[in-house]
Chain A
């Protein structure tokens, strides 16, 4: 037997639920890991594309310091020199090769063409998306810059990979956890530069304080160069300078909005759409119910 509920009872039940729910949530261990306190200012790396010669020493140094095995690669038939093409649990650093410009008959292909290379890895965002979305608090941003992770806490859901604006964290099937560039925090702790920076023969990668890195980027912009990482997703600890747009390297455009801001924006718009759609559905259901009632009333009157 189902009793119909009155409006008053419904409101009472709703009120009781609203009181009970916050009480149930009280005292939860939210597992929020406080960032490790680290003396010193935020560190950063400036990557100057105009200086890069594509030697891949940084890629090798990354493998060497972090004891990452080699990866089986293929020579691409489409003239693509980026190799490997994607981040993986054992490849944290990629040198992206890009041939820019059009073939010019008059100069036998040399005049209009130029090569540009970009040493790419985790950008170590100032407000990282991966840290924000991780359900297990397995990732965190250290106060001096590196975005780090705890292998034991990772649940392997892949949410950090999907939320990262560049898809950097990658799940390691052997360790059963994600892995990515650590900005060589273990070298930083010893007062050393990240391994990739230390081997760059042309100073295309330079390690410095974040404040200084942003000044270098501002000077580059003033000289008509492009920068990446100063504003994108609220800023990153790796800042790129180039004489060609970063879209050439396949780096997406992002606004200055951080992950939390992005989530809030989606949520607010969804709530607005939800109220509108919910109202429309309720109105349609009410109209239908009234119409049905009227038809039934007509039928019963006709029957009588």
Chain B
């Protein structure tokens, strides 16, 4: 399973992302006109719009849903093992908990872990990638080694070990751990992009004028990659959600919060499958599938928006 990434281009360098988005490569950045143009196309792209509707819809559910509920997700709110009804939209669990309330609470923590995890992974990956690509030399070699090692280590299993010993008490901690293992592909991709941008004249100019590396990266290199970086975050978001769900499912997630993975864990543990309590295990998985699917599709749409070549096809 290759993670769907920006459209096909530098296939060789970054396998998870078979392509490189051609940012404002040849023309200098003309901020106002460009941004409006991008927005214009973004709002007219059916994939982007459709996906945004789903994502925002689920987000709203996650934010507003728990607030509107009259009982908590773990409270015993009604009769046990009830199928969906007017009173309990998603029915009740083995213990009489409201599945709907659990669902919207789970959505909340899902979004949280997704955002935090992607921020952590993105920050680490981009820093490593930029510095490695820009500095080159032994710094590059060293960071490459680091990237490759973290890449090869089966992060999921290590996460299990970490969670076992050190315990995960909160969603932010979980997001941190996940982020620390998901950044290698970002570093590789960003490094490749940086390498190609580094050779540009405007960067040479900045270096000659003695601007420090950090400033050059932030002010000259990164702006040319904004679109690419944005799409990277979207992918990281989706990935973090899936990883967190798997960890929760094994029972290694934060136990103080309800999460969609935990719901599935409990459903399976309490024989919901054999008892046919489909309302308990279908919604959480469906929610994740819809959310992550929407994110991926939005990414494809964004690729068309950012990459004019695809647009006119």
A binds B: no
